[in-house]
Amino acid sequence: MIDEIPAQERSGRLLRAGLGESDVQSLLRELAAPAAAGFPADSARVGKACRDGRALLACLPARSKRNADEQAAGHALVHLLAEAVWRFFRAYRHQIYDTLTAGRTRALRLEDLARAGADLLPGILPSESELAEESRNMQADKDGLEIHQGLFFGQLLSDREIGLHLCAAMLLPTAAARAALDEFRARGELDLGAVRVQAQGDAGYLYFHHPRYLNAEDDETLAAQETACDLILLHPGLRMGVLRGAPVDHPKYKGRRIFSAGINLTRIYNGKQSYLFYLTRDMGLLNKMFRGLLATDGEGGLVLRPEEPEQTLEKPWVAAVDGFAIGGGCQLLLVMDYVIAESGAYFSLPARKEGIIPGCANLRLPRFMGERMAREAIMFDKTFSVDDADARTLVNEVHPREDMDRALGDCIANALGSGMVSAAGNRKAIRIQTEPMDTFRAYMATYAYEQAFCHLSEQLVHNLERHWNAKERKL
């Protein structure tokens, strides 16, 4: 997605927008300068170029108000900086990662790496205060500070050793879950706001509870969802997890359970949804449901040896789909072991209409329904009714709405009644040929890179206005 602009065009694009010639030429000289003698000098040079480039961007009108020349200049500046940053990360990713993780003796989550990286690389990676300032803009007016985060994680994940270490760090239980485990075991339930988690017999129930937005996912729900997932996996008395939506408030569905409306498009359009959500969700919440929690060596060290079987604490998961599973909701079904759906329910991956990549669906959906059908779902907006034959590759049972509770109870009783001694072993054995960790890492490298440009693209905003009536939606 980086647009490598021919050298002879760079100056002209910027000057036609009315930007100062001396500032433009100074920036282009900084970007054209050869790599210096080492990391400190190159970091300072690229950081200054990024600050100077953003200063020029600030001289332009808001992105949605620019004329054709100003749009061309803004596009050129964003991609010139992206090219320089990409090359910098490629050259120094080992040194950067080892500095941030103390020689890989510390396991840092994505969000912690982003914060620490901003401190280490001022100007190159955005700080929390810079991101907070940009979040005041509508999505249509953002020039893409978060693109540099995508380039950063794309390069880290592209390296096998670094990428696997980062994948492993994201499979550790969160501090919030460890802190809440004793209370959960004692009470048997916790209200985490956007999620309700309950222990019922030997099963742990994770209920999505975001009623105003039809149980959609966003920055405000993700931490609670991952905490609830961790609690179910950590609880020694629970042998399986159950995923279901809580009743919602929407007038059309009031009082009905809804599984998930996918990502909260209202937040995206209004510029409030972070880029890191995409990576954190798939490398944390969804990968934990798929793989479980990573074991440690007893001293907090990571246990991930690519040549050995995965040492994870995992449990099977069942999903009960009421109403619909759209976008991210459909992605969740791809990491479930069993899916029960309400007759009349449907699922879809409307990524084309949104302008983003649907998480790991591109990696996982083809093995469920074949590549031809997966391409139709992802790229041509095919919607599947659970009552149709095409949908049965993702759904194990379909029942009338009034029978869903009974069907779910029967499924859980049947699974638990078998003893489930081999459940974790069978899950690991299936993953050997479907999705080993290194395959996941390589996919996430591409996803991190491409999704950053998609998230900040003009096309995303256009798609939301055209297909979703975004201007009329309120936070």
pLDDT number for residue 434: 94
Percentage of the chain exceeding pLDDT 90: 80
pTM of the predicted model, to two decimals?
0.94
Q: Is the pLDDT of residue 5 over 70?
A: no
pLDDT number for residue 325: 97
pLDDT number for residue 352: 73
Token pair recorded at residue 157 = 């994940």
Q: Is the pLDDT of residue 6 over 70?
A: no
- The chain-wide mean pLDDT, for the chain, equals 92
Q: How far is the C-alpha of 243 from the C-alpha of 196, rounded, in Å?
A: 11
The mean-pLDDT minimum among 172-181, 249-258, 413-422 falls in 413-422
The mean-pLDDT minimum among 98-102, 128-132, 284-288, 412-416 falls in 412-416
pLDDT number for residue 297: 58
Percentage of the chain exceeding pLDDT 70: 93
Q: What is the per-residue pLDDT across 318-350, written as a single tens digit (0 to 9) for each?
A: 999 999 999 999 999 999 999 999 999 999 998
Q: What is the per-residue pLDDT across 413-467, written as a single tens digit (0 to 9) for each?
A: 999 886 666 888 899 999 999 999 999 999 999 999 999 999 988 888 888 888 6
Q: Is the pLDDT of residue 303 over 60?
A: no
Q: How far is the C-alpha of 392 from the C-alpha of 377, rounded, in Å?
A: 14
Q: What is the per-residue pLDDT across 187-244, written as a single tens digit (0 to 9) for each?
A: 999 999 999 999 999 999 999 999 989 999 999 999 999 999 999 999 999 999 999 9
pLDDT number for residue 170: 96
Q: What is the per-residue pLDDT across 375-424, written as a single tens digit (0 to 9) for each?
A: 999 999 899 999 999 898 999 999 999 999 999 999 999 998 866 668 88
Q: What is the per-residue pLDDT across 30-65, written as a single tens digit (0 to 9) for each?
A: 998 887 779 999 999 999 999 999 999 999 999 999
pLDDT number for residue 39: 94
pLDDT number for residue 377: 93
pLDDT number for residue 79: 93
Q: Is the pLDDT of residue 152 over 70?
A: yes
Taking the CA atoms of 216, 219, 224 and 227 in sequence, report the sign of the dihedral they define. positive
Neighbours of 417 (CB within 10 A): 8
